[in-house]
Amino acid sequence: MSGVRWAYALNQWDTNIDAFVRTREHERAFKTISISGFSGVEFTAVSFGAWEPFGSPAEIANLYGSLEGLRSFLAECALDAVSSYVYDPFVGFDVEMGRGPDPLDPDAVERIATTAVWFADAVHRLGGDALVVRPVGSAWQTGALSDEQIGTLARLWDEVGRRIAAHDVRLALHVDFLSALRLAEGIDRLLAATDPALVGLALDTAEFAIAGIDPVAFFRSHADRVRHIQLKNARHVVDEAEALTPHAEQFVRTEGGARRIERWFFEPTDEGGLIDFEAFAQAVADADYAGWIVVESDQSPHPAESAMVSGWYVQNVLRPIVEGSARLVEEKK
């Protein structure tokens, strides 16, 4: 049997500060994800108070009473688990909508680890097993990382990985297309500096492709470190010069940069884009990957439609590749 479980990211529903705050909206989203063929949902850790109902412990308690209450609600919507939480340390949880600690600050370990442990405990109690983290800031902020900075990051994430392992949760570093790790072989240097038993990688197909990294080739060469997969499509590449634009998060990612790109991310399909999803699915099968694959459609103007389109493609194209290869392996045994 394949060890792959399929989930869908909730982020595309939550695009406006007051558009996704009531339980009836949550029920519609969860049921849409379920009927589209997914068994889990991925949450984002954000500190916007009542406007981000799944982003902090307090708001989950306010709406659902407890994590157990939320899991019961998910089960009523025919979902098995929250597969994962996505946590960006730069988001502050001490003060609502505040600024969080910088992973490059050696004194930030305790604050980051404490927050990570809460979300890891939440993921475990909600049936999932992955904490996906943004390991460092953007390229324009730091330039290429020095060996000393890589060492600082390695010590931080080894410690976080060690602490959340006590909750049976795996740490997965998420490299976005503006990340400082895209420069000077930063991904490989950080992976080499961290303990493979404690620190893995979240491979986001679109983020890698936009950064000019072939996700299929990267997965094949780093399958032993991939702990989590996020699956989405992309149509445009951002080179290093564009990634180094001052305030690239706003100017490039949000506003589309000088090219005025309206949308960076798309549903996984075989109808164009930068990623060969069938080849990626085959690579996943060949590596005998076990873990969650989370489909995303960030920026989708029609969340329910995107979930159903993605679900059809997963069920009819990608899942048979992964599970078909898994059956062949079992038969050979």
Taking only the tens place, the pLDDT of each residue in 308-324 is: 999 999 999 999 999 98
Q: Which of 146, 108, 127 is nearest to 42 (CA)?
A: 127
Judged against a pLDDT cut of 50, whether residue 259 lies above it is answered with: yes
Between the two ends of the chain, the Cα-to-Cα distance in Å is 12
Q: What confidence category does residue 329 fall into, taking pLDDT thresholds of 50, 70 and 90?
A: very low
Instruction: Give tens-digit pLDDT for 80-126.
Output: 999 999 999 998 776 555 688 999 999 999 999 999 999 999 999 99
Sign of torsion, CA 153 159 162 164?
Answer: negative
What is the number of residues in the chain? 333
Instruction: Give tens-digit pLDDT for 162-182.
Output: 999 999 999 999 999 999 999
Residues of 198-235 as b/e, b for ≥16 C-beta within 10 angstroms? bbbbbbbbbbbbbbebbbbebbbebbebbbbbbbbbbb
pLDDT of residue 56: 79
Q: Which of 50, 90, 7, 56 is nearest to 319 (CA)?
A: 7
- Return the structure tokens found at 35: 């009927």
Instruction: Give tens-digit pLDDT for 207-221.
Output: 999 999 999 999 999
In order of 22, 93, 117, 161, 162, the CA distances from 154 in angstroms are 40, 23, 17, 10, 12
pLDDT of residue 198: 98
Q: Given the structure tokens 């992964």, which residue do they identify?
A: 322
> Going by C-beta distance under 8 Å and a sequence separation of 6 or more, which residues neighbour residue 141?
180
Q: What share of the chain is helix, strand, coil (3-state, %, to 5)?
A: 50, 15, 35
- Return the structure tokens found at 291: 């873990």
Q: Which of 149, 173, 152 is nearest to 161 (CA)?
A: 173
Q: What confidence category does residue 327 fall into, taking pLDDT thresholds of 50, 70 and 90?
A: low
CA distance 60 to 23: 11
Judged against a pLDDT cut of 80, whether residue 17 lies above it is answered with: no
Do residues 132 and 7 lie in contact, with contact meaning Cβ atoms separated by under 8 Å? no
59-73, 93-107, 191-205, 223-237: lowest mean pLDDT where? Answer: 93-107
Do residues 204 and 174 lie in contact, with contact meaning Cβ atoms separated by under 8 Å? yes
Q: Where are the domains of the chain?
A: 4-332
CATH code of the domain made up of 4-332: 3.20.20.150
Residues of 47-83 as b/e, b for ≥16 C-beta within 10 angstroms? bbbebbbbbbeebbeebbeebeebbebbeebebbbbb
Instruction: Give tens-digit pLDDT for 220-253.
Output: 999 999 999 999 999 999 999 999 999 999 999 9
Instruction: Give tens-digit pLDDT for 123-157.
Output: 999 999 999 999 999 999 999 999 999 999 999 99
- Return the structure tokens found at 32: 């849409």
